[in-house]
Amino acid sequence: MADVVAIAQDLIRCPSVTPAEGGALGVLERMLGDAGFTVHRVTFSEAGSADVENLYARIGTEAPHLCFAGHTDVVPPGDEAAWSHGAFAGDVKDGKLFGRGAVDMKGGIAAAVAATLDYLAANNDKLQKNDGGSISFLITGDEEGVAVNGTIKLLAWAAERGEKFDHCIVGEPSNVEAMGDTIKIGRRGSQSGTLVVDGVQGHVAYPHRASNPVPDIAALIVALSGDPLDQGNAQFQPSNLEFTSVDVGNTASNVIPAQAKAKFNIRFNDHHTQETLRALIDARVAAAAGNRIKAHVIWEPSNSDSFVTRPGAFTDTVTAAIREITGRMPDLNTGGGTSDARFIKNYCPVIEFGLVGQTMHQVDEHTPVADLEQLTQIYRGVLDRYFA
Task: Exactly one of 21, 118, 143, 365 is catalytic; name it.
Answer: 143
**What is the DSSP code (8-state) at residue 151?**
H
Strand segments, DSSP code E, in the chain are 38-46, 49-59, 65-71, 92-93, 96-98, 134-140, 167-170, 182-184, 186-187, 189-198, 202-203, 240-247, 255-256, 259-268, 294-299, 307-308, 331-333, 350-352, 366-368
Indicate the pTM of the whole model.
Answer: 0.89
Q: Are 236 and 272 in contact (CB under 8 A)?
A: no
Q: Is 143 a catalytic residue?
A: yes
> pLDDT digits over 275-314, tens only?
999 999 999 999 999 999 999 999 999 888 899 999 999 9
Where the chain has pLDDT below 50, the residues are none
Determine whether 305 is an active site residue: no
Q: Which one is catalytic: 10, 21, 53, 73?
A: 73
pLDDT in the model for residue 130: 56
Q: Which domains does the chain have, with CATH numbers?
A: 4-187+306-386 (3.40.630.10), 189-299 (3.30.70.360)
